[in-house]
Amino acid sequence: MFVFSLRKMICGSLLLLLVSCSKPLSPWKVNKIETSNPSYNSSRYIFTDGNTRFELYKTAYETVGYFSVTSLPIPSLLENSSISQIRLTIDDDRETVIAHRITGGQKLILPENTLQKILEALKEKKSVTLETGRYSLTLTSPPEELSLYNCTNR
């Protein structure tokens, strides 16, 4: 009886030690395709929190950013159903940006200058929040190994 409970205690302690020493999981995910010809390489970076997502696609020729949701469509502007407003907050600076809605209304294409502001802010480890309608997403800086900061096409 004593041996069994001692064994349980040792196993429990080892499990606790392993869990406490592991790195927390990052909300950032990356998929890279590397070929023998760099012109065909691409990267996809995704930050997900609940039913909201920031996506970044990088090829040799362009970098495109998206804000998307997995539930109800993002509200459009009354005058034009193909665009929507998105509020970008970097630290205490807030601005409203117009973004194009993709068919179905659950994904917005971020303007290039907005995407560059987001990438620069993340590089500087600033707080970045995207909001539209009922949806809000606060991005955290990705781990350095994701090389997200090399996503400019200049």
Q: What is the pLDDT of residues 25-36, one digit of tens each?
A: 788 999 999 999
Identity at 138, one-letter amino acid code? T
**105: region left, alpha or beta (phi > 0 left; psi from -120 to 50 alpha):** left
Beta-carbon contacts of residue 102 (< 8 Å; ≥ 6 apart): 66, 108, 109
Instruction: Tell me 37's DSSP state.
Output: S
Percent of residues, the chain, with pLDDT higher than 90: 63
pLDDT tens digits, 93-121 = 999 999 999 989 999 999 999 999 999 99
Can you tell me the distance from the alpha carbon of 10 to that of 63, in angstroms, rounded to the nearest whole number?
51
Residue 17 has pLDDT above 90, yes or no: no
Of the pLDDT bands very low, low, confident and very high (cuts 50, 70, 90), residue 59 is: very high
Of the pLDDT bands very low, low, confident and very high (cuts 50, 70, 90), residue 21 is: low
The pLDDT of 48-69, averaged and rounded, is 94
Beta-carbon contacts of residue 63 (< 8 Å; ≥ 6 apart): 56, 57, 112, 115, 151, 152, 153
